[in-house]
Chain A
């Protein structure tokens, strides 16, 4: 602090200015820090009936784990100030993947520590801070991969690494002290059945919607006069609230079942799988038909005119030109339909169709948040997985028909 004051512009020239290259990572880290200081990392309740008490991260987890989280978080933050290049982006994605595992390990360790000093009835649940930190780390992984323009194979590899690591941690008993795991252990057989039923409901309803909706969409493109009435009906169906539609189907289907006992014999009735499937199919029809119409009528008119002018028959034009060129739009539609059906199928448990929704409604009835999570988390995971797989397929196809 001696000598004359250096003018500001010269100081700027002498010391390299600190520049922020990535605005997403600092936001994510701030969110994680705020959540960790303001909310509980886990919550501990003496039994299943009373609500729990929040425990902060640094009180719940081993100080070494907390320190590791802080160090890695700081490391991630510094990448935001490093010059933008692919190596930096891959490094930040790598650090974020490690953070995901560390957050998971921290919650497992914290739960074990709490369980050791508590009775067998004690319920240990996941706190708000855990969810925000996990979400922030996950988004940082996505951000890093996107900035690095990682190809679909790299993204797939990252997903597989995270999923495999998570599975290994479950297998090693890392989460055994959490009440979510207790809920799962007491319902293992039920869970497998519910998951299978959920996937079956989704595949069957999307399958039927595609088989019925795709030809309907093609017909609507060929006869534009049909589009008005077809979309009017489908839009109307889409506006019926899902719970109401499931309820509305009970009356006509019970009537059918009692009028035709052979229908009842194969399981068609007012409640159960049949009305659930019908409702899911009805909801899926609009997006299927709409993306078919959008995809096929979006094909360049010059290309279709050339195909006609060179003597391709309608069938040849459809299979060789219109379908391949509209495939990215059709797949995007299939993605929307599948993700939507996975969510709606949760509600189907209300009319006895089973699936992951059965845990959600049981949990709601028993005021057991962990049981709700046991249904909701796998449904979210299914939706994310379906979204990712179909997005990858779209990207691979899009590369082939790049314009």
Chain B
């Protein structure tokens, strides 16, 4: 659990973070969301003490971060950034091994951990470990950046717009990847982005910041359904928010069990947004729905989407 209590930070008298309080539960995927200059990156960088704060307190698992020496604190927290910051003169293996080496792990344990992480990121360990960063594509570099952040099995992962500099297709793949890693490891992740779609897709909880203050805090669906202010409503997307809402709900929630329809069935796990897209494409108002094993279990109708 990470607690931020009444955190404030000024640069030259101008408040960047203003009396911010948040509690991120263990295992959460918490996204700090907001336009540029809202203080989201500054807030993230306060958690590993890269940026000092003027007042308030931050506690990780009940421990005040200012009671821990800053290098020791940072070695316990994974850190991945937009520019990736891989060391260009080190191999992939050396890059991933950065924090384990700082922690003086034995050589064999480091090698095994690098293998394990490359496999987790679906990169072939034997062909990748000896490569240099300049031999990798942007997406591969960012995967190595994530692997490096996870190397010493940190209790917490901080990610500052990690997928901001890659192309949309690679970003999509990396988002799937990080969602899978979060589901598999149950690590607490604090993730900064200004991309609402990315936030709705990945977050279990979202903090929207407006000029250094907390504008709204809640689950993605709450924020889209009940924006707390005009700022949040505009930011979440005005007229586009209806589609975003459909994207957040699964077919299973609105399905009519037992009925049947013709055509290739959709998975009950797919979103209502996908159902709408397929209906438009097939010029129909009803689609069969199947479970994970492909067995037909019901139908979804156009009217169900807007219920």
Contact = CB atoms under 8 A, between A and B. Distances in A.
B61 to A, nearest CB: 18
B72 interface: yes
A306 B99 contact: no
B98 A401 contact: no
B87 interface: yes
A315 B300 CA distance: 63
A401 B88 contact: yes
Centre residue among B79, B85, B148 by max chain A CB count within 10 A? B85
Contacts of A300: 83, 85, 88
Given A325-B89, A400-B89, A311 B74 contact: yes
Given A309-B74, A310-B75, A311-B74, A321 B87 contact: yes
Contacts of A244: none
Interface residues of A, number: 22
A311 B88 contact: no
A10 interface: no
Contact of A401 (B50, B83, B89): B89
A310 B88 contact: no
A308 interface: yes
B134 A302 contact: no
Contact of B88 (A309, A312, A403): A403
B255 interface: no
B85 A307 contact: yes
B87 A303 contact: yes
Contacts of B72: 311
A367 B268 CA distance: 101
A301 B50 CA distance: 14
Contact of B48 (A303, A309, A401): A309
B89 A310 contact: no
Interface in A99-131: none
A402 B132 contact: yes
A307 B99 CA distance: 10
Centre residue among A306, A313, A324, A401 by max chain B CB count within 10 A? A306
B71 interface: yes
Interface in B38-95: 48, 50, 70-75, 79, 81-89
B102 interface: yes
Given A402-B134, A403-B88, A311 B83 contact: no
B42 to A, nearest CB: 13
A322 to B, nearest CB: 11
Interface string A302-339: 11111111111100100001001100000000000000
A325 B88 contact: yes
Contacts of A309: 48, 50, 74, 79, 81, 85, 158
Contacts of B145: 306
Interface in B170-216: none
Interface string A26-62: 0000000000000000000000000000000000000
A89 to B, nearest CB: 27
Contacts of A311: 70-75, 99, 102
Contacts of A402: 88, 132, 134
Contacts of B79: 306, 309-310
Nearest to B158: A309
A311 to B, nearest CB: 3
A311 B154 CA distance: 12
A312 B102 contact: yes
B108 to A, nearest CB: 22
A184 B88 CA distance: 51
A310 B74 contact: yes
A155 B133 CA distance: 29
Contacts of B71: 311-313
Interface string B122-143: 0000000000111000000000
Centre residue among A303, A311, A321 by max chain B CB count within 10 A? A311
A187 B87 CA distance: 55
Contact of A302 (B73, B75, B84, B102): B84
Contacts of A316: 102
Contacts of A403: 88, 133-134
A306 B86 contact: yes
B87 A310 contact: no
Contacts of A324: 89
Given A305-B50, A325-B88, A310 B148 contact: yes
A367 B155 CA distance: 81
A400 B87 CA distance: 12
Contacts of A321: 87
Contacts of B132: 402
Contacts of B73: 311
A329 B70 CA distance: 31
Centre residue among B82, B89, B133 by max chain A CB count within 10 A? B89
12 contacts: A303-B85, A303-B86, A303-B87, A303-B88, A305-B83, A306-B81, A306-B145, A307-B85, A309-B48, A309-B85, A310-B148, A311-B70
Interface of A: 300-313, 316, 321, 324-325, 400-403
Given A303-B86, A308-B50, A310-B74, 16 more contacts: A300-B85, A303-B87, A303-B88, A305-B83, A305-B85, A308-B74, A309-B79, A309-B85, A310-B98, A310-B148, A311-B71, A312-B102, A321-B87, A402-B134, A403-B88, A403-B133
10 shortest A-B CB distances, which residue pairs?
A306-B85, A302-B83, A311-B74, A309-B79, A311-B75, A302-B85, A401-B89, A311-B71, A303-B85, A403-B88
